[in-house]
Amino acid sequence: MNSKKNIYARSGLFAKAILFLSIGVITAMEAFGLGGFKAGSFTLMDVLAKQEFGNALLILWAVALFGYVFWRVYETIVDNEGYGTSIIGLGQRIGFCFGGLVYAFLAVSALQVVFNPDGSSYLTTTDFQKFIHTDFGRICVVGAALGMMGGALNEFYIAFSGIFKKTINIDAIRPKLQRAVMSFGTIGYASRGFTVSIAALLLLDSAYTTRDITSANKEAAFSFMQYAFGDLILGLIAIGFIVYSMYVFVEVRYRKIDM
């Protein structure tokens, strides 16, 4: 049973790697004039659903991604990695749970695209848009934006501290490849941090303007990068996502998972 849990968790990591690889490749193609588009999770789902066997692939991807959700929530509750109940330890465990819930939302959204393709998200309804511009709604949005900024800072910390090395069986990797794996992690986490920080700023802006809250996503962040910094920077960030996916593929095999 333990082995089955671990395998399911690794299937979730594989699904996560596929997501970031797809976003990176398609967005890089857009940046370098090779076709493609500024890709985000929901855009990819809609495009894939229109392809032959697309719905079947979305269901398979969602089921696998729930393995990642299961693992993250399990880590939060059981604390099998020993983070403890200190303020820092609890913060890390809550971060695991939050990360899992984000991917749970993506998995549920993928299933919604398959089984209710014409359904609209609650985030796009008029009532919800009115709510986020009330005083309480604005506080909620600002809180979420600040949480995203905290997440972005954590991504940068993970990237440049190299702490992610502790989460994989680095000694099991051939010495000649260990430096490449560390570089993948640093570049990948930094690219994620940069993108999340821009999305957080866009979300913060939506609390005080008429901007739709759903515009605070990867596509909007990529569009902002392209507008503010040009195609080259957008392309480099997209390549960073591809590099990050390579690191997650390494995690599929070497991540320390013991449930």
Q: Is the pLDDT of residue 152 over 90?
A: no
* In contact, 158 and 182? CB cutoff 8 Å: no
Average pLDDT (157-170) is 89
Average pLDDT (36-60) is 88
Residue 188's closest CA among 230, 155, 221? Answer: 155
Structure tokens at 178: 């260990």
What confidence tens digit (pLDDT) does each residue in 8-35 have? 999 999 999 999 999 999 999 999 999 8
* In contact, 12 and 69? CB cutoff 8 Å: yes
* In contact, 27 and 222? CB cutoff 8 Å: yes
Q: How far apart are CA 159 and CA 190, in angstroms?
A: 6
Structure tokens at 41: 């999770």
SS (H, E, C) 183-219: HHHHHHHHHHHHHHHHHHHHHHHHCCCCCCHHHCCHH
* In contact, 212 and 129? CB cutoff 8 Å: yes
Q: Is the pLDDT of residue 163 over 90?
A: no
Q: Given this model, what pLDDT does residue 148 score?
A: 82
Q: Given this model, what pLDDT does residue 247 score?
A: 96
Split at pLDDT 50, 70, 90, the class of 136 is: confident
Q: Is the pLDDT of residue 122 over 60?
A: no
Q: Is the pLDDT of residue 151 over 90?
A: no
Q: Given this model, what pLDDT does residue 167 score?
A: 86
CA angle 119, 120, 125 (to 5 degrees): 145
CA angle 217, 87, 10 (to 5 degrees): 55
Cα 58 to Cα 85, 119, 205: the distances in Å are 38, 16, 32
Q: Is the pLDDT of residue 1 over 50?
A: no
Residue keyed to tokens 């962040």: 221
What confidence tens digit (pLDDT) does each residue in 240-257 have? 999 999 999 999 999 988
